[in-house]
């Protein structure tokens, strides 16, 4: 049907503009029309420095004009000025704020980062980092170079953060670990903001957050750090993942995946990553939280009829709860029985346990788990009951 619509639109517009003289001319115009109808491709969505020095610093715009130009409400501008010191508008007659073109460019850039899912605190930290890097590059470019150093310089038309050595994943891991160990929230958020500016969400989670938290956990197990440090690192990571999940596009259609922690399980970082990755892939997913009782899982399954239930289990203490949920799901009528899946650090260290459970083991990390869940959602399954009268009583 869509093809007929395109053809109809093509010939309708063609009749107004072109006299169709022969078959081949029509084919050429039709192909041009199709090419023009295709969505434009673009470069990967990356955060770039706004080059603030290119904008005039003269105070020109009152608050109303700045709001109109930037799309950010006046109370928000005042809050950013008060809390983060990111704006310093001059005062006209010591009363009205006056913003420069540079201020407006900065406000627009911050708004764009918030729309990406970055918090304002992280966006401000990232802007400061990129601004310092830009000025450092300018200063280095203005200094005379020796012949040896000049041969090592690779010219660049624009700031490319991924080319900066201190933003490599290895260095970012060390910086984030240091920030966690020092209980330095501001430093941790700066590292996270810099990483999100360069790397994709999945790589950010798997290659930065996960190994850093694992190292913190290892240090805690060896009594090298206090439990407060482990909790501090987990809290910041949990907050970041929750923010990314909240701002990711939400799909309410298709097969539903329920994610959560097994009864007695409180370690949720891994299952939060799975939830985030699934949502970013357009899968209808709902996270139910930590330590969900088995009976509540079953009641929710009967109500929502998910295709997949994914539970996290990281310790022996929560294994019995996982087994209880597995048994109760297995006892459900086939028509509403979802595929039971599970994962967690416990099974990474004791893979033999995974073989003893009925259900789908999701693998060693969140990316592998996401791929396997996606495969399950594509399998045909019995149609769930549609009317309330068809649903089992509970």
* CATH of residue 359: 3.40.50.280
Residues 358 and 287 grouped into a single domain: yes
Residues 261 and 222 grouped into a single domain: no
Q: Residue 393: what pLDDT?
A: 40
What is the tally of structural domains in the chain?
4
Residues 293 and 233 grouped into a single domain: no
Residues 238 and 308 grouped into a single domain: no
SS (H, E, C) 301-340: HHHHCCCEEEEECCCHHHHHHHHHHHHHHHCCCHHHCCEE
Q: At what angle do helices 227-247 and 210-221 cross, to 10 degrees?
A: 160
**For residue 304, how far is the Cα from the chain centroid?**
26
Residues 114 and 89 grouped into a single domain: yes
Mean pLDDT in residue range 232-252: 90
Last residue of a domain, one of 78, 113, 134: 134
pLDDT band at 212 (very low <50, low <70, confident <90, very high): very high
Residues 181 and 270 grouped into a single domain: no
Mean pLDDT in residue range 103-122: 84
Last residue of a domain, one of 93, 111, 134: 134
Query: Is the residue at 162 inside a domain?
Result: no
Q: At what angle do helices 169-181 and 210-221 cross, to 10 degrees?
A: 40
Residues 320 and 207 grouped into a single domain: no
Residues 288 and 353 grouped into a single domain: yes
**Does residue 52 carry a pLDDT above 90?**
no
Query: Is the residue at 61 inside a domain?
Result: yes
**Is 122 or 382 the better-scoring residue by pLDDT?**
122
CB atoms within 10 A of CB 246: 11
Q: Quick one: DSSP state of residue 392?
A: P
Query: Is the residue at 141 inside a domain?
Result: no
3-state DSSP assignment of residue 382: coil
Query: Is the residue at 139 inside a domain?
Result: no
The closest of 99, 117, 105, 74 to 248, measured between CA atoms, is 117
**Is 80 or 28 the better-scoring residue by pLDDT?**
80
Q: Are strands 308-312 and 256-261 parallel, antiparallel or unpaired?
A: parallel
Domain that residue 32 falls in: 2-37
**Is 307 or 348 the better-scoring residue by pLDDT?**
307
Residues 210 and 260 grouped into a single domain: no
Lowest mean pLDDT among 44-53, 89-98, 352-361, 378-387: 378-387
Query: Is the residue at 78 inside a domain?
Result: yes
Last residue of a domain, one of 208, 243, 278: 243
Q: Residue 356: what pLDDT?
A: 79
Query: Cα(180)–Cα(187) distance, rounded to whole angstroms?
Result: 9
Query: Is the residue at 313 inside a domain?
Result: yes
pLDDT band at 338 (very low <50, low <70, confident <90, very high): very high
Query: Is the residue at 59 inside a domain?
Result: yes
Query: Is the residue at 235 inside a domain?
Result: yes
* CATH of residue 203: 1.10.1240.10
Residues 308 and 214 grouped into a single domain: no
Residues 253 and 384 grouped into a single domain: yes
* CATH of residue 73: 1.10.1660.10
**For residue 319, how far is the Cα from the chain centroid?**
30
Query: Cα(381)–Cα(294) distance, rounded to whole angstroms?
Result: 23
SS (H, E, C) 3-60: HHHHHHHHHHHHHHHCCCCCHHHHHHHHHHHHHHHCCCCCCCCCCCCCCHHHCCCCCC
Residues 383 and 254 grouped into a single domain: yes
pLDDT band at 263 (very low <50, low <70, confident <90, very high): very high
């Amino acid at each position: 049907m869509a093809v007929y619509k395109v053809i109809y639109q093509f010939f309708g517009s063609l009749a107004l503009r072109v006299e169709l003289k022969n078959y081949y001319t029509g084919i050429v115009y039709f192909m041009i029309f199709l090419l023009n109808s295709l969505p434009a491709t673009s470069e990967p969505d990356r955060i770039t420095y706004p080059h603030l020095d290119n904008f005039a610093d003269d105070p020109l715009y009152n608050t109303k004009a700045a709001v109109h130009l930037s799309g950010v409400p006046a109370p928000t501008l005042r809050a950013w000025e008060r809390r983060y010191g990111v704006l310093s508008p001059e005062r006209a007659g010591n009363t009205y704020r006056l913003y420069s073109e540079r201020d407006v460019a900065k406000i627009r850039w911050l708004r764009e980062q918030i729309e990406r899912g970055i918090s304002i605190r992280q966006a401000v930290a990232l802007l400061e980092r990129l601004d310092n890097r830009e000025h450092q590059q300018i200063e280095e470019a203005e200094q005379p170079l020796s012949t040896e150093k000049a041969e090592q310089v690779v010219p660049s038309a624009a700031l490319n953060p991924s080319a900066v050595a201190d933003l490599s994943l290895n260095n970012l891991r060390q910086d984030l670990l240091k920030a966690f160990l020092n209980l330095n929230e501001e430093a941790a958020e700066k590292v996270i903001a810099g990483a999100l500016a360069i790397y994709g969400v999945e790589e950010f989670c798997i290659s930065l957050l996960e190994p850093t938290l694992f190292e913190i956990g290892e240090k805690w197990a060896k009594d090298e750090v206090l439990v407060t440090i482990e909790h501090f690192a987990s809290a910041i990571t949990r907050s970041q993942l929750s923010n990314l999940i909240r701002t990711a596009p939400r799909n309410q259609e298709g097969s539903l995946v329920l994610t959560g922690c097994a009864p007695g399980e409180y370690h949720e970082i891994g299952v939060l990553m799975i939830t985030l990755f699934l949502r970013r892939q357009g899968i209808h997913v709902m996270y139910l939280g930590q330590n969900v009782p088995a009976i509540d899982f079953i009641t929710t399954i009967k109500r929502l009829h998910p295709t997949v239930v994914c539970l996290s289990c990281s310790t022996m203490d929560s294994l019995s709860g996982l087994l209880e949920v597995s048994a109760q799901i297995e006892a459900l009528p086939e028509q509403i029985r979802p595929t039971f899946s599970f994962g967690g650090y416990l099974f990474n260290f004791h893979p033999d346990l995974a073989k003893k459970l009925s259900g789908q083991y999701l693998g060693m990390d969140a990316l592998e788990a996401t791929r396997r869940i996606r495969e399950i959602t594509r399998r045909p399954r019995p149609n769930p009951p549609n009317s309330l009268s068809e649903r089992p009583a509970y």
